A and B are shown apart, each in its own frame.
Chain A
């Protein structure tokens, strides 16, 4: 035990003394979450829109006023023709144009139906989609009100976004960033740190010493496990305080599941370190093989349902996918363990398999 504590002291000294490591461990998580929070936004706020109003009656003006009043939009200009509007798109004055047809109010009175066209700048498709649905919401709301006063009943759909009523992107990126950062810190940093011992030859000295391989492995990995827990807590706190991402479910369960994911990432890091001889290859493999899939194939940024089938199958072996399902369920839906037990068991299985494989590979240094 005393041998082991000496080992831990040494590992912490390595981490604390290396400015680059400290940077990656503590600044990057905070930066990453703030950047994702403030820059990579999927929500609409103050989007500039234009109007083409061929009718100019009390109804169209009322709707225009409502669009302008919504926090999501600002009606910046009225165009007379489509050509003008197109020029407006090209000049980047506006993201969308709402077109009211001729005789709008009359049509509404007569046929209980009037035409609105929405033109969208789809060079940013996500944004276009969002603006489209936001405008539709306002239009639907208006027509619903009109319907109440008039006697006829028109069935209109009213989508509501549950668990993330206002489509806050923070709800998506906080869990995603957590998965990414845990991969980064635990797998990447631990594989680099073991590869460093190999590169400098100190690993040989450790292997010649009376330390058992399992002690060496635990000694190398424990500090990163501890620091990762610190990061989990700080990401959740920043997510909650700065971006208002709630934790509806159990904190204990959330932390336990995160710890399981940390163990998984550590065993991946260990596995990588058994495959490589230098820090650079360790970094290369960790970033390409672990971080990119975590970012792209886990459902963090791109919905898995929209991927080509082959990538969908590939996503089954990306542990972050299950982790995201679990923590989103706990945080946003407030679900308990029984609802995510399958995903938890999958993570658990992967972890056990990886630990067994990497410990075996670590021992097989004896050829």
Chain B
């Protein structure tokens, strides 16, 4: 395995009965980059992310995450990844502090360690007043930021974010991306799925999926010049048309 690559996927296929959710995916993710997975709903993004996290087994193909095989070494993978799902996944009836203590606890962090990191987090996010509130009382934007902080609290090598910004306003989305940049600076690799194309610009490299296949992969600039487009929106539209043409033939 190349030291630069933290995720390597070769010929990944995932079938649910007759339906092929992931059709022969090949890509790699480099250490400390933001890797974006783009595509419409139902393109197979969530299936792919679940396979990488060890929530689903692939039908076939080779998948290595953080140097471990998803077929045999899922336990080792789990210690090295963080995951934030679409629903933000915090316990609404626990306070912010209790949520963080719980998640840190199941990753086996020591109590003193949890306390130090928690205090750092509180001052970084400026949530002194929110920390003892129930999550159910927080605005969506805060839930999202805290869910992200929870996902990286145990300092994983990679964090998987499945549509983390769905449903929040543009300003909060921008703030959220600031948190992502900060995580990347501390050495964490970020794997993010989104259907907001403007967010693709924030990624180091993106991969565009449609109908279970990867249609294009590269940095936003590479893709824009390749498809002679002004922005990612145009790239996406051109790729989508191309797919349709192929289908029509």
Q: Which residues of A contact B (CB under 8 A)?
A: 2-3, 6-7, 9-10, 13-14, 17-18, 200-202, 204-212, 365-367
Q: Which segment of B4-12, B103-111, B196-204 sits at the interface?
A: B103-111
Chain A residues in 8 Å Cβ range of B107: 3, 209-210
Q: Which segment of B36-44, B90-98, B122-130 sits at the interface?
A: B90-98
Please give me the residue from chain A that is nearest to B82 by CB atom: A208
Q: Are B87 and A201 in contact (CB under 8 A)?
A: yes
Residue B187 CB within 8 A of the other chain:
no
Chain A residues in 8 Å Cβ range of B56: 366-367
Further contacts, 11 of them, CB under 8 A, given A2-B108, A3-B107: A201-B89, A202-B89, A202-B91, A204-B55, A204-B85, A205-B103, A209-B107, A210-B79, A210-B108, A211-B106, A367-B16
Taking the closest CB of chain B, its distance from the CB of A359, in whole angstroms, is 17
Q: Are B91 and A14 in contact (CB under 8 A)?
A: yes
Q: Are A200 and B87 in contact (CB under 8 A)?
A: yes
User: Contacts A202-B89, A208-B53, A208-B78 known; A6 to B83 CB distance under 8 Å?
Assistant: no
Q: Are A10 and B89 in contact (CB under 8 A)?
A: no
- Residue pairs across A and B with Cβ atoms less than 8 A apart, 17 shown, are A2-B105, A3-B107, A7-B102, A14-B94, A200-B89, A201-B86, A201-B88, A202-B91, A205-B89, A208-B54, A208-B78, A209-B78, A210-B75, A210-B107, A211-B106, A366-B55, A366-B57
Name the prevailing secondary structure of the A interface residues: helix
Chain B residues in 8 Å Cβ range of A200: 87, 89, 91-92
| A-B interface, 7 closest residue pairs, ranked by CB to CB distance from nearest | A6-B105, A201-B87, A208-B83, A201-B89, A210-B78, A201-B85, A205-B89
Q: Are A6 and B101 in contact (CB under 8 A)?
A: yes
Q: Are B92 and A367 in contact (CB under 8 A)?
A: no
Taking the closest CB of chain A, its distance from the CB of B190, in whole angstroms, is 16
Name the prevailing secondary structure of the B interface residues: loop
Q: Give the CA-CA distance A351 to B85 in the complex, in Å.
A: 35
Contact partner, A365, options B53, B55, B87, B94, Cβ 8 Å:
B55
Q: Which residues of B contact A (CB under 8 A)?
A: 16, 53-57, 75, 78-79, 81, 83, 85-94, 98, 101-103, 105-108
Please give me the residue from chain A that is nearest to B17 by CB atom: A367
Q: Are B93 and A3 in contact (CB under 8 A)?
A: no
Taking the closest CB of chain B, its distance from the CB of A189, in whole angstroms, is 15
Q: Give the CA-CA distance A205 to B91 in the complex, in Å.
A: 11
Please give me the residue from chain A that is nearest to B104 by CB atom: A6
Contact partner, A10, options B83, B94, B108, Cβ 8 Å:
B94
Taking the closest CB of chain B, its distance from the CB of A52, in whole angstroms, is 67
Q: Give the CA-CA distance A17 to B99 in the complex, in Å.
A: 14
Taking the closest CB of chain A, its distance from the CB of B165, in whole angstroms, is 16
Q: Give the CA-CA distance A7 to B104 in the complex, in Å.
A: 11
Please give me the residue from chain B that is nearest to A10 by CB atom: B102
Q: Give the CA-CA distance A7 to B55 in the complex, in Å.
A: 20
Taking the closest CB of chain A, its distance from the CB of B24, in whole angstroms, is 19
Please give me the residue from chain A that is nearest to B57 by CB atom: A366
Chain B residues in 8 Å Cβ range of A18: 93
Chain A residues in 8 Å Cβ range of B93: 13-14, 17-18
Please give me the residue from chain B that is nearest to A13 by CB atom: B94
Please give me the residue from chain B that is nearest to A211 by CB atom: B106
